[in-house]
Amino acid sequence: MTAPALQTTRRCPYAPPEQHTRIRDTDPGISQVTLPGGQVAWALSRLEHIRAMLTDPRFSSDRRNPNFPRFTRERPGRQPLLQTMIQLDPPEHGPARKAVVGEFTVRRMAGLRPRIQEIVDEQIDAMLAGPRPADLVQALSLPVPSLVICEQLGVPYHDHDFFQTRSATLLSRALTAQDRQQALTGLRDYLRDLIAKKAAEPTDDLLGRQLAQGNDPEDVLSLAFLLLFAGHETTANMISLGVVTLLERPEELAALREDPARTLPAIEELLRVYTIAEFANARVAVADVEIGGVTIRAGDPVLALSTAANHDPSAFDEADEIKLDRGARNHVAFGFGIHQCLGQNLARMELQIVFDTLFRRIPTLRLATPADKLRYKDDALIYGIHEVPVTWEESA
């Protein structure tokens, strides 16, 4: 029997595709699906299975493997233009991550708080001074993470249109091989020039410090690409989805306003429910492995249906309900295993500052378009919303 095509359209913004929950709720919770390029891949759907897979070295992240799962129709086994650490297995992965992880510790992130607060306040000032309704995506969701990652890396923010449009292109599901190549080449050349300038004239920013530590400029280039790319659309979409969700729940929003200690647990729940990087946890088996009684053979592509896993009723009580005070952090929205998101603590802090500041400063904020009329990103590899028109009372 042919494996059914992988479904990617959600039932609603926070409910996984029907196919994914059916796989999860039917024993053994593992099934085969066909990817857009024709590959047949194992789909894992239960939290326990996915966490086991992501911590098992017999599953590889190497995109040069011709059997690595592909979500677009591009040709298999190409040498990637940019090989970043998320595509490396041990032993290469460890040194690459350790070279930069000191820049992302919990303490370093706390040190960024005052500057992130300033950025958020400036964006809100500009939004309040502009016309109503405003598009929250352009006014706040995108510029905040963009400004933060640009400053951290030492990338001029005035170039942000250039890499933002290319990042968005790379995340489209409708991407042709040629579009992809062009976007990647453009980004690579831009970053190569920037890094050459920093090598000639040292700067005290993340990229400058990597060069000063004697890291190979080509490795710094890969890192720059990864961080710039990963730092844009992800947090931006979580800001948009979070604001819409909270505006739709006025009682819970009022509780958050009264007690900011509730914001971090609420963010964790929003991350779990939306799981915006739902297919990021893909791997290829490099040995025969048994999971949940199913033998996955060496060379088999493997997907993690991460949204279904984050709604797994055996891991979360009333898993389909949004409970902002749930406090569960064992979700896989940031992945799991050695590739777990490097920027997760930066993302948490950005979301916390944005939510606390936005709802405090604009208490009359409301959607100018009903939530069910918004254009959700079922067409992109990172889930989110295209535009979020918002308005407020003049006196705000």
Partner 1 sequence: MTKIVADLDRCVGAGQCVLTDPEGFDQSEEDGTVVVLQDTPADDEALKRARGAVEICPSRALSLTE
Query: What stretches of 1-70 show up as alpha helix (H) in DSSP?
Result: 18-25, 47-54
Identify whether the C-beta of residue 268 lies closer than 8 Å to the C-beta of residue 251: no
Shortest separation between residue 176's beta carbon and partner 1, angstroms? 35
| Choices 191-199, 290-298, 310-318, 337-345; region in contact with partner 1 by CB under 8 A | 337-345
Residues forming a β-bridge with 304: 44
Residue 102 lies near partner 1 (rule: CB under 8 A): yes
Cα separation of 37 and 203, whole Å? 43
Q: What is the DSSP letter of 366?
A: E
| Choices 102-110, 116-124, 125-133, 232-240; region in contact with partner 1 by CB under 8 A | 102-110
Residue 97 lies near partner 1 (rule: CB under 8 A): yes
Scan residues 243-272 and list those touching partner 1 (CB under 8 A): none
Residue 338 lies near partner 1 (rule: CB under 8 A): yes
Shortest separation between residue 48's beta carbon and partner 1, angstroms? 12
CB nearer to partner 1: pick between 56 and 387: 56
CB nearer to partner 1: pick between 74 and 205: 205
Phi then psi for residue 143, to 5 deg, are: -65, -35
Residue 340 lies near partner 1 (rule: CB under 8 A): yes
Task: With H, G, I as helix, E, B as strand and everything else as coil, classify residue 269.
Answer: helix
Count of positions on this chain that bind partner 1 (CB under 8 A): 23
Instruction: List the one residue from 1, 27, 75, 106 that touches partner 1 (CB under 8 A).
Output: 106
Identify whether the C-beta of residue 354 lies closer than 8 Å to the C-beta of residue 296: no
Residue 215 lies near partner 1 (rule: CB under 8 A): no
| Choices 15-23, 95-103, 133-141, 313-321; region in contact with partner 1 by CB under 8 A | 95-103
Distances (CA, A) of 231 to 144, 339, 350, 369, 387: 10, 15, 11, 27, 19
Residue 101 lies near partner 1 (rule: CB under 8 A): yes
Distances (CA, A) of 204 to 198, 199, 211, 343: 9, 11, 10, 20
Place of tokens 């050349």: 189
Q: What is the DSSP letter of 139?
A: I
Residue 105 lies near partner 1 (rule: CB under 8 A): yes
Residue 345 lies near partner 1 (rule: CB under 8 A): yes
- Please report, as a single letter, which amino acid is at residue 378: D
Shortest separation between residue 260's beta carbon and partner 1, angstroms? 17
Instruction: List the one residue from 138, 165, 295, 330 that touches partner 1 (CB under 8 A).
Output: 330
What count of Cα atoms within 13 Å lies in the side-chain half-sphere of residue 125?
6
CB nearer to partner 1: pick between 99 and 128: 99
Shortest separation between residue 134's beta carbon and partner 1, angstroms? 33
Residue 323 lies near partner 1 (rule: CB under 8 A): no
Burial of 368 (0-12, 13-18, 19+ CB in 10 A): middle
Scan residues 52-71 and list those touching partner 1 (CB under 8 A): 54-55
- Would the CA dihedral through 247, 252, 258, 264 be positive or negative? negative
Task: List residues near partner 1 by CB under 8 A.
Answer: 54-55, 94, 97-99, 101-102, 104-107, 329-330, 335-338, 340-342, 344-345
